[in-house]
Homo-oligomer: A and B are copies of this chain.
Amino acid sequence: MAAQDRVEARRLKGFRDLLPGVAASKEKIIQIARQEAYLAGFQPIATPALEYADILVGSGGGETEKEVYKFQDHGERLVGLRFDLTVPFARFVAEHQNELAFPFKKFQVDEVWRGEKPQKGRYRQFCQADLDIVGADSVAADFEVISTLLRIIEGTVNQPFTMMLSHRAVISGLIKHFFPAFDTAGENSALIALDKLGKVGAEIVQNMLVQIPGGTEAGAKSFLQVISRKDAAGHSDLAAIGDVVASDAVAAGGIARLDELIALLSPVIPKSGKVLVDLSVARGLGYYTGVVFETTIDSLPGFGSVSSGGRYDQLLSRFTNRSLPGVGGSLGVDRVLGALEELQKIPTTAAAKVYVAIATEDAQTYGIQLALELRQSGIATDYALSAGKLGNQFKYADKNGCPLVVTVGSDELKAQQFSLKNMRTGMEEKGLAAAGLVRKIQVALQ
The interface of chain A, by Cβ under 8 A from chain B, is: 1, 3, 5-13, 15-20, 23-24, 26-27, 34, 38-41, 43-52, 54-55, 58, 67, 69, 71-75, 77, 79, 81, 91-92, 94-96, 99-103, 105-106, 111, 113, 115, 124-125, 133, 136, 138, 140-141, 143-144, 264, 268, 314, 317-321, 349-352, 355, 364-365, 368, 372, 375, 378-386, 396, 399-400
Q: A12-B48, A18-B46, A95-B9 are in contact. Are A317 and B1 (CB under 8 A)?
A: yes
A90: shortest Cβ distance to chain B, in Å? 8
Question: In the assembled complex, which residues on chain B have CB atoms less than 8 Å from the CB atom of A317?
Answer: 1, 6
**B101–A396 touching, CB < 8 Å:** yes
Q: Which residues of the partner chain B approach A6 to less than 8 Å between Cβ atoms?
A: 317-321
Closest to A352 in B: B41
Q: Is B39 in contact with A380, judged by CB distance below 8 angstroms?
A: yes
9 of the cross-chain contacts (CB-CB < 8 Å) are: A6-B319, A6-B320, A17-B46, A20-B43, A23-B46, A40-B382, A71-B72, A74-B115, A140-B386
Report the Cα distance A133→B383, complex, angstroms. Answer: 12
Residues of chain B contacted by A40 (CB below 8 angstroms) = 352, 375, 380-382
Which chain B residue has the least Cβ–Cβ distance from A117? B74
Q: Is the CB of A47 within 8 A of B364?
A: no
Would A41 and B351 be within 8 Å (CB), given that A50-B125, A125-B50, A365-B264 are in contact? yes
Known: A12-B79, A95-B10, A111-B49. A34 touches B44 (CB 8 A): no
A319 contacts which chain B residues (CB < 8 A)?
6-9
Given A49-B113, A51-B12, are A69 and B58 also a contact pair (CB < 8 Å)? no
Q: A17-B45, A73-B12, A143-B368 are in contact. Are A382 and B55 (CB under 8 A)?
A: no
Q: Which residues of B are found within 8 Å of A47, using beta-carbon distances?
A: 17-18
On whether the beta carbons of A23 and B39 are closer than 8 Å, the reply is no
Residues of B near A94 (CB, < 8 A) are 9
Q: What separation, in Å, do the CA atoms of A51 and B34 have in the docked complex?
A: 29
Closest to A110 in B: B111
Most buried by B among A27, A47, A140, A268: A140
By beta carbon, the residue of chain B nearest A375 is B39
A13 close to B75 (CB less than 8 A): yes
Q: Which residues from chain B contact A5 at a C-beta distance below 8 Å?
A: 318
Inter-chain pairs besides A41-B383, A71-B72, 20 sampled, C-beta below 8 Å: A1-B314, A5-B318, A6-B321, A7-B318, A9-B94, A10-B95, A11-B51, A17-B47, A23-B45, A41-B352, A41-B355, A43-B350, A69-B73, A69-B74, A101-B400, A103-B385, A111-B111, A138-B385, A138-B386, A268-B372
Contact A17 B381 (CB under 8 A): no
- Asked if residues A99 and B368 are in contact (CB atoms below 8 Å), the reply is no
By a CB distance below 8 angstroms, the chain B residues around A45 are 17-20, 23
Of all chain B residues, the one with the shortest Cβ separation from A92 is B17
User: Please, how many angstroms separate the alpha-carbon atoms of A343 and B278 in the complex?
Assistant: 53
| Residue pair B140, A48 in contact (C-beta under 8 Å) | no
- Distance between A430 CB and nearest chain B CB, rounded to angstroms: 24
Are A349 and B43 in contact, with the CB atoms below 8 A? yes
Q: With A26-B46, A96-B19, A140-B364 in contact, is A52–B12 under 8 Å at CB? A: yes
* Docked CA distance A77–B38 (Å): 41
Q: Are A50 and B7 in contact (CB under 8 A)?
A: no
Say yes or no: B385 contacts A144, CB within 8 Å. Answer: yes
Distance A290 CA – B18 CA, assembled complex (angstroms):
29
What residue in chain B is nearest A327 (Cβ atoms)? B385
Partner pick for A17 among B79, B95, B138, B382, CB 8 A cutoff = B95
Q: Note all chain B residues with C-beta closer than 8 A to A400.
A: 101
Chain B residues closer than 8 Å to A46, beta-carbon distance: 17-18, 23, 26
Asked if residues B48 and A11 are in contact (CB atoms below 8 Å), the reply is: yes
CB of A125 within 8 A of CB of B48, answer yes
CA distance A13 to B365 in the complex (A): 50
Q: How far is the CA of A399 from the CA of B43 in the complex (A)?
A: 13
**B41, A381: Cβ atoms closer than 8 Å:** yes
The residue in A7, A375, A379, A399 that gathers the most chain B C-beta atoms within 10 A of its C-beta is A7
Q: How far is the CA of A405 from the CA of B264 in the complex (A)?
A: 23
Give the residue name and chain of the B residue nearest to A135 (CB): B385
A133: which B residues are within 8 A, CB to CB?
385
From B26, B44, B81, give the contact of A27 (CB < 8 A).
B44
